[in-house]
Copies of this chain bind each other. A is one copy, B any other.
């Protein structure tokens, strides 16, 4: 959940435009995130340099950069750490044979592709594509004709 909450939070901020300060309760209710939990998520996002937190009266959160320069990979990894898929990738020590293990290479490739996919998804595109438009042309949905 936490990573999804983070994506929704950043998406909501991106929709307001960068540098627009939004108070936490508004984000929580609009993006359907438990308010107290959002506190924690925001802290991670701030630590990763994705959002800016302004404390005190009239405080709130804002994107720290233009939405174009924020992607899903960093948002997700700000929350859960580096995506790894499985232990044989993260803790090679757990598997004595892993340096020359073909299965390990498959996991690494799978991981690489997931990260690549999330990296390609920037929040400007996500915010714009509210309407069913996939950022990926090929197998999921046919490319759209431009007006």
Enumerate chain A interface residues (CB-CB to B < 8 A). 1, 3-4, 7-8, 11, 32, 72, 85-88, 95-106, 108-110, 112-114, 117-118, 121, 125-126, 129-136, 139-141
Number of identical protomers: 2
Q: Which residue of B lies closest to A4 (CB)?
A: B88
Q: CA A125 – CA B96 in complex, angstroms?
A: 20
Q: CA A57 – CA B66 in complex, angstroms?
A: 68
Min CB distance A83 to B, Å, is 9
11 example contacts (A-B, Cβ-Cβ < 8 A) are as follows A3-B86, A4-B88, A8-B103, A32-B96, A97-B132, A98-B132, A102-B126, A105-B140, A106-B117, A109-B117, A113-B113
| 6 nearest A-B residue pairs (beta carbon) | A102-B129, A110-B117, A113-B113, A106-B121, A105-B134, A102-B131
Q: CA A106 – CA B118 in complex, angstroms?
A: 7
